[in-house]
Amino acid sequence: MNQSEAQSEPESASGEAQLKKFQKELSTGTVSLALLAVLARSDEPMYGYQIAKTLERFGDGVLSGKQSALYPVLRNLGAAGLFDSHVEPSMAGPPRRYYRITQQGRDALREWAAAWRATRDSVDTVLEGLIP
């Protein structure tokens, strides 16, 4: 391996690490919005695994992450009155907590979606013409 190759490997690893960090930051900021949207689309209450699988299907997995990371967000949104939840026994294992969006959650979804679109549009305007 020549010196140029040796230098590019750490730079590449550093670039990948920075990208992963950036993706995590983006995900952290958007997961609440995505959770509200998933529950707003559903006619029936959903449990955590169903929500996680739905997030994986949307956006080629960009919104997927560790399922365990969803539960604190679900608890926080529930505590804020954006979801109702209840526990039901499961034939296939432990009891499941089901979540349903509330009217307050639907109102928040409308407001947060508008804020997301405004942010996305602003960033797109800044990036316009820079990246082919």
Which CATH number goes with the domain that contains 59?
Answer: 1.10.10.10
Indicate whether 31 belongs to any domain.
yes
**With the C-alpha atoms ordered 28, 117, 121, 57, is the resulting torsion angle positive or negative?**
positive
pTM listed for this prediction: 0.79
**Which ranges in the chain belong to alpha helices (H)?**
3-41, 48-57, 67-79, 103-127
Q: What angle do CA 113, 105, 116 make, to 5 degrees?
A: 15
Task: Give the helix/strand (H/E) hosting 90.
Answer: strand 83-90
pLDDT in tens, the chain (132 residues): 554 444 455 667 788 889 888 877 887 778 899 999 999 999 999 999 999 999 888 866 667 666 778 889 999 999 999 999 999 999 989 999 999 999 999 999 999 999 999 999 999 999 988 876
Indicate whether 80 belongs to any domain.
yes
Indicate whether 91 belongs to any domain.
yes
Domain that holds residue 82: 10-127
Q: What is the pLDDT of residue 45?
A: 97
Beginning with the edge strand found earlier in the chain, give each strand of the sheet holding 93-101 in spatial order: 46-47, 93-101, 83-90
Q: What angle do CA 23, 69, 18 make, to 5 degrees?
A: 20
Q: What is the pLDDT of residue 121?
A: 94
Q: Which of 2, 76, 67 is nearest to 32 (CA)?
A: 76
Structural domain total, the chain: 1
Indicate whether 97 belongs to any domain.
yes
Indicate whether 4 belongs to any domain.
no
